[in-house]
Amino acid sequence: MKKILTLFVLALMTVFTLSAQNDPIFSENFSSVTGSGTQQCDASSSAFNNNTLADVLPGWSSYKAYPANGKVKVGTGSENGWIETPALDLSGVGSIRIVFDARAWNTNNANDGSTMTVTVNSTAYTVEGLANSGQTSDVQCDLTTFELIAAGGGATTIRFEGSPRAFIDNIYIYAATDPTMSVQGTTSFNNVSVNQACTSTLTAHGYNLTAGGTTTVSISGDTQFATTATTVANDDLMTDNGVSIPISFSAAAAGNYTATLTLTNSDYTATVELTAHVIEITDVPTIAALRALIDNSDVNANVTDTSAFYRYTGQGYVTQVFKTGSYTKWIQDETGAIQLYDPDAHLTNVSVDQEITNVIGHVSNYFGYTEFKVMAGIANADINAFPSATPAPIVVTLAQLQDQEYMDGIQGQLIKLENVTFNETGTFTKQIRYTVTQNGVTDTAVYFTGQYDTQVGANIPTTACNIIGVNMRTAAYSNGYGSPRVESRYYILPKTLDDGTLVNENPALQTVAYPNPTPGNITLEINGEATHAAIYNMMGELVDSQAINNGANTIKMSQLSQGVYFICIFNGNEMVGKTKVVRQ
């Protein structure tokens, strides 16, 4: 999180003096939050119903928010919590002053921090120095008052987020009359290669500046950063669109680089930190070559080679995706397959059954299973939404799945178990290993990991079926204290069953597109959650994107030339459906 503007922490008396100058645009003292508990600062251990404040504060929204006797606790020991105001009409209000009381949960705990993030629309401001609430349940918990200036204008929501746990009370929003500036945009270039040219466009806004004046733009620090902007007009800064400031970066050597972008006028000075992390990257053309970069023979080791970055430059077909967080994927080419481990969610724009290239990361041996830990995102140009071929699964038997040496040779690839019968009945449950029988061989070989959260509750087949999915070797584990240790072995992670039902994706949306072929627009009926439809031509090029919802939608195609098009249906960043339409 970047500090976009200088943050002011004021004494309580000062805040009262400022507050007396004008009435607040909005305020909330949480007096209607009467619930309490025995945790620090009277916090309850029960979150608001449905994780929302709307029952007691109409229009507010929240996540992991808890009543605390006239104030609100946000967050748990493992997850950041937040509360967000209703949409405020700040039309004509250039900048705002936000005053609030806050306190940290327990800064002596390594999992808790002493900061709070205040997000005004899409701009995040970091508030530091929250005091420790202590560890006793009866502490009265006097909160400290903080104040910051932020960009306003139009419909505005304000979110207060702990890191991960904090208390908040007495929120006041004022129109600010003091001059101020804000800068938004990408200010960090992470894991870029040597001599790679990077660019970013920042947007600067000014409020209450001297009309007719000018603002000087400069960069100090490492000279690898540059901008073509030198001066901008204050009047342009104070428009709704603000002023675009181009930033470029390129470095001839690996390392960390920093610089400071400064905007200065007679009223105010704003500074933004620019950072870059440059690495040496070795290109690797095939998955087989990528796998050969690390020894995975030790099934008791968990080792990542962080000394080297590699870029896979082949064309890897995305065979399978774990649903939760989408941070684990598998890719396969004609030489082999590998698991992409993406804990930092660099590849949220990548979906199953696509083809991708230029993936950057480290290679790992995870207890005998080779992984590629993703360290950077890829451009949309590196994604082929319509591969010409799909990898055929390798048909294996249950006996072969138990053969460690054989499975090592096809590690991570799509496999198929034919004519197997589940020994369990009922519904699928996450984190369960299921036993199946094939030709007289019985084995606990089918693994529904905790990531498969969308299929939980689906009925287990009661007749013989075929299973297609990637194979994964798990680390040795125990079912609990005193339980026998289960040695490292291979499982199949199901992708499809006989009827083609996806078990690691959202159930395929029921879609109807008509008329098809069409002389112009079509009606797209969707039975499920969706946010937009992306239209691709036969070359896989994105030609249009239109907002959609559950139900009937009109998709405009009259502006497109005649030909075949693919309409991909997305829910956020996740592709949840696809259909083909002919434009006459």
For range 248-260, the mean pLDDT: 96
Q: What is residue 572's predicted lDDT score, i.e. its pLDDT? A: 76
For range 419-429, the mean pLDDT: 89
Does residue 71 surpass a pLDDT of 90?
yes
Confidence of residue 2 (pLDDT cuts 50, 70, 90): very low
For range 524-533, the mean pLDDT: 86
Domains 181-279 and 510-583 share a fold: yes
Does residue 441 surpass a pLDDT of 80?
yes
Q: What is residue 483's predicted lDDT score, i.e. its pLDDT? A: 54
Q: What percent of the chain has pLDDT over 90?
A: 44
For range 254-261, the mean pLDDT: 96
User: In what helix (H) or strand (E) does residue 581 lie, and over which residues does it extend?
Assistant: strand 574-583
Q: Which of 7-11, 143-147, 418-422 has the lowest mean pLDDT?
A: 7-11
d(CA 338, CA 369): 9
For range 393-421, the mean pLDDT: 95
* β-pairing verdict for 155-156 and 88-89: antiparallel
For range 243-250, the mean pLDDT: 96
Q: What is the pLDDT of residues 500-510, one digit of tens each?
A: 554 444 444 66
Q: Letter for the amino acid at 431?
A: Q
Q: What is the pLDDT of residues 147-160, one digit of tens each?
A: 888 877 788 999 99
Confidence of residue 208 (pLDDT cuts 50, 70, 90): confident
Q: What is residue 166's predicted lDDT score, i.e. its pLDDT? A: 92
Q: What tokens were used for 480? A: 């609990």
Q: Which of residues 123 and 480 earns the better pLDDT score?
A: 123
Confidence of residue 431 (pLDDT cuts 50, 70, 90): confident
Does residue 120 surpass a pLDDT of 70?
yes
Sheet strands (E) in 128-280 = 144-151, 155-156, 158-162, 166-175, 180-184, 188-193, 198-207, 214-221, 225-226, 231-233, 243-249, 255-264, 269-279
d(CA 379, CA 555): 26
Does residue 549 surpass a pLDDT of 90?
no
Q: Which of 30-44, 247-261, 566-580 has the lowest mean pLDDT?
A: 566-580
Choices 2.40.70.10, 3.40.50.410, 2.60.40.10, 2.160.10.10: CATH for 181-279: 2.60.40.10
d(CA 214, CA 207): 13
Q: What tokens were used for 288? A: 């087989």
For range 350-361, the mean pLDDT: 91
Report the SS3 class of residue 288: helix
Q: How many CB atoms lie within 10 A of CB 458?
A: 16
Does residue 455 surpass a pLDDT of 90?
no
Over its C-alpha atoms, the chain yields an Rg (Å, rounded) of 28
Contacting residues for 131 by C-beta, under 8 A, at least 6 apart: 103, 104, 107, 114, 144
d(CA 318, CA 336): 12
d(CA 496, CA 455): 11
What is the residue-averaged pLDDT of the chain?
Answer: 84
Q: What is the pLDDT of residues 484-505, one digit of tens each?
A: 666 789 999 888 777 555 444 4
Residue 545: beta bridge partners? 534
Domain spans in the chain, listed from the N-terminal domain onward:
12-175, 181-279, 282-384, 394-496, 510-583
Q: Which of residues 567 and 400 earns the better pLDDT score?
A: 400
Please state which CATH class domain 394-496 belongs to. mainly beta
Q: What tokens were used for 186? A: 């990408």
Q: What tokens were used for 431? A: 């984190």
Does residue 5 surpass a pLDDT of 50?
no
Q: What is the pLDDT of residues 122-156, one digit of tens each?
A: 788 888 888 877 655 444 578 889 988 887 778 89
Q: What is residue 183's predicted lDDT score, i.e. its pLDDT? A: 84
Q: What tokens were used for 13? A: 């008396």
Q: Which of residues 579 and 136 earns the better pLDDT score?
A: 579
d(CA 74, CA 64): 6
Q: Letter for the amino acid at 491?
A: Y
d(CA 233, CA 239): 10
Burial 163-196 (b: 16+ CB within 10 A, else e): bbbbbbbbbbbbbbeebbbbbbbebebbbbbeee
Question: Going by CATH, does the domain composed of 12-175 fall within 3.40.50.300?
Answer: no
What is the fold of 510-583?
Answer: Immunoglobulin-like (2.60.40)
Does residue 63 surpass a pLDDT of 90?
no
Confidence of residue 419 (pLDDT cuts 50, 70, 90): very high
Confidence of residue 13 (pLDDT cuts 50, 70, 90): very low
For range 563-572, the mean pLDDT: 80
Q: What tokens were used for 315? A: 């064309």
Please state which CATH class domain 282-384 belongs to. mainly beta
Does residue 454 surpass a pLDDT of 60?
no
Does residue 4 surpass a pLDDT of 50?
no
- Residue 558 φ then ψ, to 5°: -65, -25
Confidence of residue 283 (pLDDT cuts 50, 70, 90): very high
For range 294-298, the mean pLDDT: 93
Does residue 407 surpass a pLDDT of 50?
yes
- Cα dihedral sign, 558-544-525-384: positive
Nearest to 4, CA basis, from 150, 172, 114, 171: 150
Confidence of residue 28 (pLDDT cuts 50, 70, 90): very high
| Contact between 150 and 169 (Cβ < 8 Å) | no
Q: What is residue 568's predicted lDDT score, i.e. its pLDDT? A: 81
Report the SS3 class of residue 16: helix
Residue 502: beta bridge partners? 496
Q: pTM value?
A: 0.59
Nearest to 174, CA basis, from 195, 185, 191, 158: 158
Q: What is residue 438's predicted lDDT score, i.e. its pLDDT? A: 95
Nearest to 413, CA basis, from 322, 336, 492: 336
Q: What percent of the chain has pLDDT over 70?
A: 87
Does residue 259 surpass a pLDDT of 90?
yes
